[in-house]
Chain A
Amino acid sequence: MSAIDPADPPPLLAARALAYARNEEPIFGPLDFSLAAGEVVLIEGDNGSGKTTLLKVLSGLLEPTAGEVLLNGVHLTLAKLSHQVALLGHLPGMKLELTTLQNLRFAVGLGGIRPGITPAIALASVGLAGYEDQPLRLLSAGQKKRVALARLLLVPAALWLLDEPYANLDREGIELVNRLLLMHAQRGGAALITSHGAYAYTSGTPRRIALRATTAEPAGREAGA
């Protein structure tokens, strides 16, 4: 997408000729793009175009078939050691039996904590003050999503990879996501968001990366299922 000038400081995230294939069937790529600090970029594509898979590759969960991912100019497998990426996938990664606060405390234990924030403050800032001791099971799908967003606020990751963050959220929730993204960008973080276009990031005009299905997809296949 954008040429990388060797004189510049390395971008927060850079993908070079990145491609992923599952069982020799190409899922996406090759892709070239970079993401600077303070940027929010939308990844757009239809169902099955590989958005979820792209985020999994960028987070280090999947090994790319070709190309490389650089985080602050460091190869991802090394950079992974530095608490820089937070992935919010389709699955919340939280326990339904535990309370919101217990879940967030676990996330903090696992991922570390950003200075100046506590799990209770994070819950309040996603509009769930008073739900600290509610088991996650009793919350609605949208509220669970908000707890997952509170996790992003807590962990000290500079790069957020959000997979369909607007799904299940009401209008207020969508505004909340946009507000959190703006805040994150302003303090020097960056975010990649997938969207099939139904809802969009509204703060400013974000850069878009279009993802197309690389081959004729078999009918009925879900993105990154």
Chain B
Amino acid sequence: MKPGTTSAACVALLRRDLALTWRRRGDALNPLLFAVIVVALFPFALGPEAQVLERIAAGTIFVAVLLAALLSLDSLFRSDLDDGSLEQLVLSPHPLSLLLACKIAIHWLTTALPLIAIAPLLAMLLHLPDSVLPVLLAALALATPLLSLIGAICVALTVALRRSGMLLTLLVLPLIVPVLIFGAGACNAAQAGLPYAAPLLWLGAWLVLALVLAPLATAAALKISLT
């Protein structure tokens, strides 16, 4: 690998970011704990009746997971900007959008995937019917990467601003509302015994679109941020 291939660069970036996440595993667990706490608080506030919890279960889990993922977005490019790694990424001869796609993938793997993994536990806490659980997991599996991809564009736009947290939230929220409506909508439809394939297919279509376009938009936004 003398002049450095693009795949070697992507592998190096994936390995570095995974190693970094492992070093900062305390921080990485934060979104997970946040989602668990939010969901665990609902029965205390609403009372333990199964019928009440069952009705709000899917929506609550969805909101908690999306907020937890939102919480972790700000750190996506922050440390890379602060220590100059981002400059090195931009200067590297490889397509920036591909490198950023790797970073977004790592973000999803380290924040959203653990959330999906504990979703069955959260579902149990809120008495979600077992028959709805597969739909919930499918909806989360489609919605969380979408959030990472959409979020990355917004983070790239705001990363150069100090104290960009508020602005980031305001930018991202309206964009993820449709994701929430379709994701939670699929679960609610399944719970009511209605067909739920359509909202899931819509999420899938958006995910494919975002997979192609979001890294390009993120790269362009980041270049603007760096000048």
Contacts and interface: CB of A to CB of B under 8 A. Distances in A.
Interface stretch (B9-17, B115-123, B170-178, B181-189): B9-17
A109 B4 contact: yes
B83 A96 contact: yes
B23 A92 contact: no
Contacts of B166: none
A143 interface: no
B16 A113 contact: no
B20 A93 contact: no
A141 B100 CA distance: 29
Interface string B64-79: 0000000000000001
28 contacts: A60-B91, A80-B93, A81-B93, A85-B91, A87-B87, A87-B88, A89-B87, A91-B84, A93-B83, A93-B84, A94-B84, A95-B85, A96-B83, A102-B16, A102-B19, A106-B13, A109-B8, A109-B9, A109-B13, A110-B12, A110-B89, A110-B92, A110-B94, A111-B4, A112-B4, A112-B8, A113-B2, A113-B4
Interface of A: 59-63, 80-83, 85, 87, 89-98, 102, 105-113, 115, 156
A108 B227 contact: no
Contacts, number: 92
Most chain-B CB neighbours within 10 Å: which of A87, A91, A156? A91
Nearest to A135: B23
Contacts of B82: 91
A111 B88 CA distance: 9
B20 A97 contact: yes
Given A87-B88, A95-B20, A109-B13, 20 more contacts: A63-B227, A83-B93, A93-B87, A94-B83, A95-B79, A97-B24, A98-B20, A102-B16, A102-B19, A108-B12, A109-B4, A109-B15, A110-B12, A111-B4, A111-B93, A112-B1, A112-B3, A112-B8, A113-B2, A156-B3
B109 interface: no
Nearest to B10: A109
A57 B107 CA distance: 31
A83 B3 contact: yes
Interface string B146-158: 0000000000000
